[in-house]
Each structure stands twice: as C-alpha cells, then as structure tokens.
Amino acid sequence: MGSEWREVEFGKLCSIRRGASPRPIQDWIVPDGMPWVKISDATSSGSRYIEETGEFIKWEGESKSFRVYPGDLILSNSATPGIPKLMSIDACVHDGWLILREFNGLDKTFAFYLLLNERQSIVSQGNGSVFTNLKTDILKSHRVSIPNLDTQRRIAAILSAFDDKIELNRRMSRTLEQMARALFKSWFVDFDPVRAKMRGEMPEGMDAETAALFPDEMEEVEGREVPRGWEWKSLAEVTSFLNRGVTPKYVEQGGMLVLNQKCIRDLKIDYCKARRHSAEKAVAFDKIIQVGDVLVNSTGTGTLGRVAQVLSLPETSTIDTHVTIVRANAEVVISSYFGVFLETREGEIEALGVGSTGQTELSRTALGSLPFLLPSQRLQKAFHKEVDRLRQLSDRNDYESARLAQLRDSLLPRLLSGEVDVSAWAEAESITERLDAVYASEESRLSAGVRALSDEALLQAQGRAWSDGGGS
C-alpha cells in the first residue's frame, strides 16, 4: 500500500444518520405517492442505483420519515445489511437505512465502492438474534484505509466504468426483451393481425407473406376465443421432457455446474449463483440442460413459478430438485415461441403450486396441465425469425455484464488495498485509455484461474463457451 494511504474511522469522513418511518406503516402505504425505499428494492436490482420502488407512502408521510434525493448514498442496516446504493430518485427511507452525507476527504463514489469492499467486515460487527442490525456507531467507529482524493477519484472512475457498461447492457437487454414480448402480445394474446384482417385491413407494419399466416376469423375452442385453426393443448402435450433435477453432491471444483432456484430470477439465468455437482454421481442425460430448455422454479412461496429460458450455456449443466426442466417437442413447437409463451405465464404457473406458506410445491402433473396455445408451425417460425436476434443480443449483453461484474469484483479489493497503483494515472481521459489494459490484465488473471480447474471440468464443457466469446 502506498504511503499516501491513511487509516481513519469512517464516522470522521461523513455524517451518518438513520432513516425514519411513519407508524403503523401499513396505514401509510398508497398506490401512488412518495416512493418508499425498502430493502427489497436494493436486493432485487443489480444496479448501483435505486431507480424505482415497489411501494409508495402518502405525501404527508415525508414529515415522519427521512427524505433522500438523487445522488444521496444510503446503506442498508437491517434484514440484508451492508448494501450501499446511490439514489437516482426522490424518495423516503425508513430506519432500516443509513444516510451518508457531508463528505470530508472522501469521494462519494469511492465511498460506495469502499463500503462494498468493507461489507463483510462491517456486517460481522452487527447484532441481532434473527436479522443482523448495524447500529450507526458500528459504522462510525469502523476503521478504513483510504488514499488521497485524487487517487480515490481515479479508483472510482475505473470501477464506475465497469458499472456504467453493465448498466448500459442492462437497459439495452430490457428494451430488447420488451420488444420481443410486445410482439408476442400483439400476435398471440391480443391477436392484432387477425383482428385487422377481420376488418379487411392489412396488419400494420407486416409484410404480405407474414400476414398470410394469420387467419381472418376467430372461433371458440374449449370455451376460449382463438384464431381459427389454432389449438389449445396442455403443456405436457407439447414437451419431450418435463421433470425435476438431481439431488446434488456438492464439490468446490470439477464436476458439473448445477443450477438452483437462486439462479432463476427476472426471466434470466444467473450462472454465477450456481454450484458444482460431483462427477462421482452420474446425471441422467435428459437432466443435462440443453439450449432452448425452459427452467421453472418449483418450490417455496415467492420463488415458485419463476421462469427462464436457456439461450446459451457456459458449460455442461444440470439443475437441482427444486427446479423443473421443461423441454419443447421440436416437432410441435418452436423454441422462441415456447420460451416467450412460458415467460408470460409466470403468474399462472405460480398459481398451480399447492401447500402451506413457505412449503408450496409445483408438481410435474400440475405444470403439465398448463393450457398452451398452439398456432401453426409456420407462424411460430415467423415469430422466431422476428425475435431470435433480439433475444440472442440480450443474452450476449447479459453474458458480457456477468463477465464485467466478475472482473470488477476481482479488481475491487486490489484497488481498495492499493495493490493496483493508479497514482501515476492522469484524470478521466487517461483513465479511459488505460481501461482496456486493465480489462486485458484481469481477463488474463481470471482465465489462468479457470485453467486451474480440473481437466474433468474442462472436458465437460459444451455448447458455446463464454470464454471464447459465445452466447451470440
């Protein structure tokens, strides 16, 4: 660590105070009002920022709470403590948050990354029988090592460059996914092209060849109005495999990647949360994940019903017994239509679960009974042609973001300890020029770690290997 670094109590670097809450809070919650920041708003997003909230309080509740503004730095101190977030909206925060302001010799963006790096150490000082709580005094007295302000800003600029790119990818992916789902809704939920033809009109924005694939009248099938010629099937009738996964024997290295319910959220698959299953315990071929499979969380209130389609694979993978593989019968249904259809049915799938609170289960029989609307294969192929490029680009963005996050997390402790010396770097322009070298250096370092895995694990790799730029 360079000589310009100094150790100081965190409370001497900024003001720290707790939020507050109007009580009883349930009397203050309204459908629209002042955004109300809950810990779940932080844990549900990988962004640095609080951009929206799931709940709102009455405007007059501000006087009984604590208002924060865009640019404020907050830190969770209960439930899931130690999560720093930057505000991008006006909102109110309850006493499960600490608000950090009036920075003295501490760059605010650097403080965000410093708190990320110090999180485990800070949280270990908390107390509580069920939830860990961070008292204000714990954070105030916590000692940290920091460099001078110029070096802080350089470090913050490097780490922010990673997060800025991740954020851009996230926004792009969300837009691409919205486009694909909007087209699905228009074609297969609202039946806009069919209704246009019924009025004697050409479907808007559609070529004649695609328009010809849609019928020009509706009919009732099993009590539901659908375009003529389309069928209602059960999900089981259009799948070639529908079953739970394996009971894993976990290992730290080698073996096979095994996905769990934590990996499936927001219609995405996060392979970083996966674990490894020992090669000593064989996995049936059908339970090895294939590109195009849809994975469905199948146990537990709050997680049951989450859906995500496999668009690419980093390596040979399976799933545990809390997740169901739903594999399309390729002779009946096209992958893109199959995946988006199930992604739009999360609520219906969740409703199929049975059991007591926290112990709900989704049986294979119940999932297989889900009604599945089956248009012609030619129309499904036309849909695939329109959306596959969008979904693959979104998947590639997600892969790049996962890799950037891995690089950022690898660099974070090295930058925050002074191991990576940035003192000679100039300001923003030079930092931008140097980032490519930083990326390359970390890629090389992490790739060396990957190569250190057992030969067995590498031999199991299949599909488009991410390290070779796959996922497109």
Residue 394 located in a structural domain: no
Question: 10 Å Cβ neighbour count for 54?
Answer: 11
Q: Which residues pair with 276 in a beta bridge?
A: 251, 257
- pLDDT at 78 (0 to 100): 84
Residues 132 and 254 grouped into a single domain = no
CATH number for the domain spanning 301: value is 3.90.220.20
Domain limit, last residue, from 375, 400, 434 = 375
Residues 121 and 253 grouped into a single domain = no
Residue 221 located in a structural domain: no
The pair phi, psi for residue 34, each rounded to 5°, is: -75, 125
Residues 245 and 124 grouped into a single domain = no
Measured in residues, the chain has a length of: 472
- pLDDT at 470 (0 to 100): 32
Residue 354 located in a structural domain: yes
Residue 454 located in a structural domain: no
Residues 139 and 265 grouped into a single domain = no
Residues 236 and 140 grouped into a single domain = no
- pLDDT at 467 (0 to 100): 31
Say what the pTM is: 0.80
DSSP 300: S
Domain limit, last residue, from 106, 131, 146 = 146
Residues 248 and 343 grouped into a single domain = yes
Instruction: Say what angle helices 149-188 and 428-451 make with each other, to 10 degrees.
Output: 70
Instruction: Say what angle helices 335-343 and 377-416 make with each other, to 10 degrees.
Output: 70
- pLDDT at 359 (0 to 100): 82
Residues 10 and 141 grouped into a single domain = yes
Residue 158 located in a structural domain: no
Regions in the chain scoring below 50 on pLDDT: 2, 129-131, 427-432, 446-472
Residues 130 and 253 grouped into a single domain = no
In degrees to the nearest 10, what's the CA dihedral of 263, 264, 269, 275?
A: 20
Domain limit, last residue, from 311, 341, 375 = 375
Residues 371 and 236 grouped into a single domain = yes
Residue 156 located in a structural domain: no
Token digits for 408? 């950022």
Residue 277 located in a structural domain: yes
Residue 93 located in a structural domain: yes
Number of domains within the chain:
2
Residues 236 and 142 grouped into a single domain = no
Q: What domain range includes position 59?
A: 6-146
- pLDDT at 425 (0 to 100): 62
